[in-house]
Homo-oligomer: A and B are copies of this chain.
């Protein structure tokens, strides 16, 4: 029987060229984040179905790849629904497993815990171009630090990584969930329906402020309130002054410490930055995940649509595991997106070692082959990559193929 050659729907084989780039970005991320004191950690790809279905992830729950029970526990005859047949599933993000991990290992971890996770996650999404059902996430999180030192370090570390990857002219947009709420409260919108407002506001990039206004009115929100709300977003300034002027408009709806906090983060990261990037206050930034409780931030690039990194503070999530609140803040780069952009830009991996190919005629004696191998090893110890391969019949084609793969030096060995 011939077997199926293609990967399963929505997942992909990664070819050596892309893999070399991925390995490079992974190594650079581990090095960069490591220097900021983030510690590598790992959770299983498989997670309890109860945890995955706990509604923390909201929308993500539909996207779970469920793993069937095994042996006697699998009772198909009496199964009412899919959930009777599964006991676990593949993780759909790294945040929920991180929370479980922290609760499970808290006593063994340095506090605050600065975590670096690079791992694959799985989502049974409708497959589409450039989006896969298995993809790598790269998250840094700081657990146990309620101060904005967490936000500042997360933004510094992430922008430094982007800088080391050669990116510039990008923009960090920052907001706070509490500002979003204060703006809605200031307009007397019902607390119950505010999430609806934010979902519409999140489309601002696509439909503009007028579009948001129209959608809010047609969703049944009072047009006077909507007008007042839209007016709050007016103003082109995006610096710390914009925070002050919005805070003045919001008055008591917004705690003064929220505005101060954001200003400190912007000032400090701006003063320290190495990469040529802007950090801007953006009161319309929403970010989808319902677990965020405070600051939220996102990185965009003019040349490429959508964001390349995103994160925020989620001070309530870990309490679901530990029973008591633990402040937490995270920043995640869009690993797959960054790989795609680098490939489009034909990014060249710096400092790759010299590649030499030794082509050996068939039937070489053990003695002669030993000499060749020793010569190859000596070059490898100097840092070179040396491929020892049997000479192909079509040597010209062999060398051309090797050349494409980065081999610039060739040495032919013939039988005496």
Within the assembled complex, what's the spacing in Å between the Cα atoms of A268 and B264?
A: 65
A388 touches B6 (CB 8 A): no
Contacts A40-B19, A105-B13 known; A3 to B149 CB distance under 8 Å?
no
B44 touches A384 (CB 8 A): no
B366 touches A268 (CB 8 A): yes
Contacts A40-B20, A67-B67, A380-B35 known; A390 to B152 CB distance under 8 Å?
no
Which of A23, A46, A320, A405 has most chain B Cβ within 10 Å?
A46
Question: What's the nearest-Cβ distance from chain B to residue A382, in Å?
Answer: 10
Q: A23 touches which one: B30, B37, B133, B388 (CB < 8 A)?
A: B30
Does any Cβ of B come within 8 Å of A408's Cβ? Answer: no
Does any Cβ of B come within 8 Å of A249's Cβ? Answer: no
Chain B residues contacting A2 (CB-CB under 8 Å) are: 320-321, 323
Question: What's the nearest-Cβ distance from chain B to residue A80, in Å?
Answer: 8
A385 touches B41 (CB 8 A): no
Chain B residues contacting A15 (CB-CB under 8 Å) are: 41, 105, 108-109
A111-151 vs B, CB cutoff 8 Å, 1 = contact: the mask equals: 11010000010101000000001100000000001010100
In this complex, how many residues of chain A approach chain B with their Cβ under 8 Å: the count is 112
A8 touches B82 (CB 8 A): no
Within the assembled complex, what's the spacing in Å between the Cα atoms of A68 and B153?
A: 41
Q: A3 touches which one: B41, B320, B374 (CB < 8 A)?
A: B320
Does any Cβ of B come within 8 Å of A271's Cβ? Answer: yes
A380 touches B36 (CB 8 A): yes
How many copies of the chain does the oligomer comprise?
Answer: 2
B7 touches A43 (CB 8 A): yes
Does any Cβ of B come within 8 Å of A277's Cβ? Answer: no
A14-51 vs B, CB cutoff 8 Å, 1 = contact: the mask equals: 11100110110001001000111101111111111011
Chain B residues contacting A111 (CB-CB under 8 Å) are: 392, 401
Q: A67 touches which one: B54, B68, B387 (CB < 8 A)?
A: B68
Within the assembled complex, what's the spacing in Å between the Cα atoms of A392 and B144?
A: 11
B105 touches A45 (CB 8 A): no
B11 touches A360 (CB 8 A): no
Question: What's the nearest-Cβ distance from chain B to residue A327, in Å?
Answer: 11
Question: What's the nearest-Cβ distance from chain B to residue A389, in Å?
Answer: 6
Does any Cβ of B come within 8 Å of A70's Cβ? Answer: yes
B3 touches A35 (CB 8 A): no
Question: What's the nearest-Cβ distance from chain B to residue A6, in Å?
Answer: 6
A73-84 vs B, CB cutoff 8 Å, 1 = contact: the mask equals: 010100111100
Q: A43 touches which one: B13, B27, B109, B384 (CB < 8 A)?
A: B13
Chain B residues contacting A44 (CB-CB under 8 Å) are: 7-8, 11-13, 134
Chain B residues contacting A54 (CB-CB under 8 Å) are: 1, 3
Chain B residues contacting A122 (CB-CB under 8 Å) are: 45-46
Does any Cβ of B come within 8 Å of A386's Cβ? Answer: yes
Residue of B nearest to A371 (CB): B271
A8 touches B47 (CB 8 A): yes
Listed from nearest, the 5 A-B pairs whose CB atoms lie closest are: A37-B387, A11-B44, A271-B370, A16-B39, A14-B42
- What would be 10 A-B contacts, judged by CB atoms less than 8 Å apart? A2-B323, A5-B103, A5-B321, A13-B44, A19-B42, A36-B388, A45-B120, A46-B122, A152-B369, A268-B373
The chain A residues found within 8 Å of chain B, CB to CB, are 1-8, 11-16, 19-20, 22-23, 27, 30, 34-37, 39-48, 50-51, 54, 65-68, 70, 74, 76, 79-82, 85-88, 90, 99-101, 103-105, 108-112, 114, 120, 122, 124, 133-134, 145, 147, 149, 152-153, 156, 160, 263-264, 267-268, 271-272, 274, 320-321, 323, 353, 355, 357, 360, 362, 366-367, 369-370, 373-374, 377, 380, 383-390, 392, 401-402, 405
